[in-house]
Structure formats: structure tokens, C-alpha cells
Amino acid sequence: MIRFIGGCLCKAVRYETTADPLNQRVCHCMECQKAIGAAFNARVLMRIEDVSVTGPISTFYSSETLERGSCSQCGSSIFSRRSSAGVIGLTVGSLDEPSLFNPDMHFWVSSKQPWLEIADDLPQYLEGPPYKGY
């Protein structure tokens, strides 16, 4: 099992995982680009109960079912959470060891920035990934 540990820039928020991730993916949708402030959102998807988060978190809903969390002190983006599915996506940029990230696909590549070239051989989906119940 890989244990993911991370937090925000000012170190007020910390998290750690206690299980293997459900998946590790790269989302290129416009909502993620805006929320993360980058060309894509690389994230590790976990069950909510397998992640402990401590510190001052501010949240907002970017859609009806997706809540995004950031440090209320420094503003670092930490997670996106879909409580109805019981999952939380940890931002790879907030990991203490981002090199542990091992993506398995790219999705919403229809919204990918035109200057970004995807050079790996991972599956790519124009919109959302195949549905697996979470």
C-alpha cells in the first residue's frame, strides 16, 4: 500500500491516507482548470473514510455534487469531494511526495489546452471516464 501524505503551502492543513487509491487520474475539464489554477487537475481518488484531514478548510460546491476544499489560510487547493459517492480526490500538487502519483488515464481531453501535448500512452476520454459507481 502506498500511503499518501500531504497538505497546503503554509502547512496549516495536513492529510494522510490509510488505504490504496481507487484510481489516479488527470482531469482536463474547465472547472478543474479554474479550481486548480492550472491546465489540468492531477488527483488521487480515495474513499472518504480512508483519508484524514486536519486544519482550517474552506469549501465550496463547484457543481451540485462536487465540493472543493482549500486551506482557509493560504488558499492551496487540497481536494474535491463527492460525498454522495463517498469519494475524495486529493490534488497531486498538495502531496508531500508528488512523484508517487501514477496516473491511469486522462479525461475531459475535449477541454484540454491546445498547447498541452499528452505524450504518454494512457487512455484518453473526450469527456468523463467510464462510470464505476464513484
Domains of the chain: 5-111 (2.170.150.70)
Question: Whole-prediction pTM value?
Answer: 0.92
Quick: pLDDT tens for 38-91. 999 999 999 999 999 999 999 999 999 999 999 999 999 999 999 999 999 999
Kindly report the backbone phi and psi dihedral angles of residue 66, in degrees, each rounded to the nearest multiple of 5, phi listed first.
-110, 115
Q: Are 59 and 75 in contact (CB under 8 A)?
A: no
In DSSP terms, 46 is beta-bridged to: 88
114 DSSP 8-state letter: T
Q: How far does Cα 97 stand from its chain's mean position?
A: 14
User: What values do phi and psi take at 35, rounded to 5?
Assistant: -65, -40
- What is the predicted pLDDT for the residue at 133? 66
